[in-house]
Amino acid sequence: MQIIESPALSAPNGKSARVIVVSGRIDQSTADLFDKALKPFLDTCRNGEAPLIIDFSGVDYISSVGLRVLMLASRQVKSQSGRIAIAALTPVVAEVFQISRFNLVFQVFATPDAAAAALSV
Amino acid sequence: MKVRFWGTRGSIPVSITATDIRAKLIAALIASRDRAFHHRDDIEAFIDGLGFDVAGSFGGHSSCVQLITGHPEHVILDLGSGARPLGQAMLDHFGPGVPQTYHVFMSHLHWDHIMGFPFFAPVYIPGNRVVIHSCHRDVERAFRRQQAEPSFPVRFDQLAAEVRFEVHAPDTDINVAGMTARARLQQHSGDSYGWAFTAHGKRVVYATDSEHDVGNVQQRAEVIEFFRDADLVIFDAMYSLAESVSVKADWGHSSNVIGVELCQAAKVRQLMLFHHEPAHDDTRIAGILAETRRYEEISREDQPLEVFAAYDGLVHPL
Ligand SMILES: [Zn+2]
Ligand SMILES: [Zn+2]
């Protein structure tokens, strides 16, 4: 599991969004690492700051512990009046979101650009 | 050993409605278009191909499961509303003149798990013996209270059978009806207990009304140890994972996804989804079963785990 920040994306209205790209498996053995790596990005994702987009295109699998980390992340950002979204799920991870019904909990976008356009209004 | 399911619904019994049956008939008739049925066998084969949600029903009785081990004393897990047809089947099979002994293992004392007891016909017949095994100290009070005025016309003291309560400590082996049974404390309002049964080299775990806290590493390790190498785990899969960690966190139930992950980690052979959400119809439960099987494929690391969804009337051989 790895998180790398990629260049900020600008939405059609000129505002920008911060993008991080996650890759690998997020399961029992890596969820803690995922949690810790995500933390600094969450702390700055607050009212008035750029929204955060988590690009999941490199994630092959996520289990319940990983989904829990995402849920806590979304809760923290909401409490800070920030904005967060997930983008570019691989087909298998999209299935896991559907089966676990996490697709009903998170805003999931097809691409980081689509997420930036939706969040930067 | 065989496991027979008499009640598989969570929280409250439900019944199939006229609207549900009409929808099944319409689906079946649409599927039968342009087909000719010359013999009864043709019809039976067609029905078998329809899918359980169209041709059958998961049923609506609350929790009641029977372990059939070949031992002359009977073993029952919980006494939800499924205990009524179970009691009737016992009387039909053995006749009222041949006294029987029933060992009942209770997960906990919530209403949906005790409500079938006053309708379990063997308790009205002298000579029968019912032994209720529980880890709850107030088990007898719960059973007496549901038959006290003004809730029921027949008081507990008026029952003709001998009814005895045995309170056990968890994490201790007890030997009953040719089996070894062992309870484990679970996370549920007012506590619940999972039971692991071993007989004839087979291991069955009954783990209903149990919440699994996804972030709790120690609890996870304990559950995996309890499930370890089981031939069958009967698992509370009432909610979706998202519900169980968000709006329905602390409601005391678990999900299909957690069931798969725990059983895979414990190298369980078969997972039986149980305690179905009362708001779900047959199509929804069949869909959840299909999704659970797919999740098992996605998350599988070594040996496959077979996944089933329990239904009232299912006889599951091990
Ligand atoms: Zn229940
Ligand atoms: Zn309960």
Per-residue pLDDT of chain B (318 residues; tens, 9 = 90+): 999 999 999 999 999 999 999 999 999 999 999 999 999 999 999 999 999 999 999 999 999 999 999 999 999 999 999 999 999 999 999 998 899 999 999 999 999 999 999 999 999 999 999 999 999 999 999 999 999 999 999 999 999 999 999 999 999 999 999 999 999 999 999 999 999 999 999 999 999 999 999 999 999 999 999 999 999 999 999 999 999 999 999 999 999 999 999 999 999 999 999 999 999 999 999 999 999 999 999 999 989 999 999 999 999 999
**Number of Cβ pairs closer than 8 Å across A and B?**
51
Contact between B203 and B230 (Cβ < 8 Å): yes
Q: What is the pLDDT of residue A5?
A: 95
Would you call A71 and B295 a contact, using CB atoms and an 8 Å cutoff? no
- pLDDT tens-digit profile of B268-307? 999 999 999 999 999 999 999 999 999 999 999 989 999 9
Q: Which two tokens stand for residue B220?
A: 């996870």
Q: What is the pLDDT of residue A14?
A: 80
Q: What is the pLDDT of residue A13?
A: 77
ipTM above 0.90?
A: yes
Would you call B261 and A67 a contact, using CB atoms and an 8 Å cutoff? no
Based on the structure, what is the number of domains in chain A? Answer: 1
Which CATH number characterizes residue A46's domain?
3.30.750.24
Residues in chain B closer than 8 A to A92 (CB atoms): 298
Residues in chain B closer than 8 A to A66 (CB atoms): none
Q: What is the pLDDT of residue A40?
A: 97
Ligand nearest to the CA of B275: 1
Candidate from B242, B265, B294 with C-beta closest to A95: B294
Matching residue, tokens 């798969």: B260
Instruction: Give the pTM.
Output: 0.97
**Closest chain A residue to B291 measured between Cα atoms?**
A99
Contact between B316 and B272 (Cβ < 8 Å): yes
Q: Which two tokens stand for residue B306?
A: 């077979």
Q: Compute the half-sphere exposure of residue B236: CA atoms within 13 Å on the CB side of its CA.
A: 24
Candidate from A28, A64, A92 with C-beta closest to B257: A64
Would you call A99 and B214 a contact, using CB atoms and an 8 Å cutoff? no
Confidence of residue A11 (pLDDT cuts 50, 70, 90): confident
Candidate from B243, B245, B291 with C-beta closest to A99: B291
Containing structural domain, residue A48: 2-119
Would you call B241 and A63 a contact, using CB atoms and an 8 Å cutoff? no
**Closest chain B residue to A75 measured between Cα atoms?**
B246
Q: What SS3 state is found at B140?
A: helix
- pLDDT tens-digit profile of B118-135? 999 999 999 999 999 999
Sequence-distant (≥ 6) Cβ neighbours of residue A18 within 8 angstroms: A5, A8, A41, A45, A50, A51, A52, A53
Domains and CATH numbers, chain B: 2-15+56-317 (3.60.15.10)
DSSP B249-284: TTSS--BHHHHHHHHHHTT-SEEEEESB-TT--HHH
- pLDDT tens-digit profile of A35-55? 999 999 999 999 999 999 999
- pLDDT tens-digit profile of A74-99? 999 999 999 999 999 999 999 999 99
Residues in chain A closer than 8 A to B295 (CB atoms): 95-96, 99-100
Q: What is the pLDDT of residue B96?
A: 84
Q: Mean pLDDT score of chain A, rounded to an integer?
A: 95
**Residues with Cβ–ion distance below 5 A, ligand 2:** B 110, 209
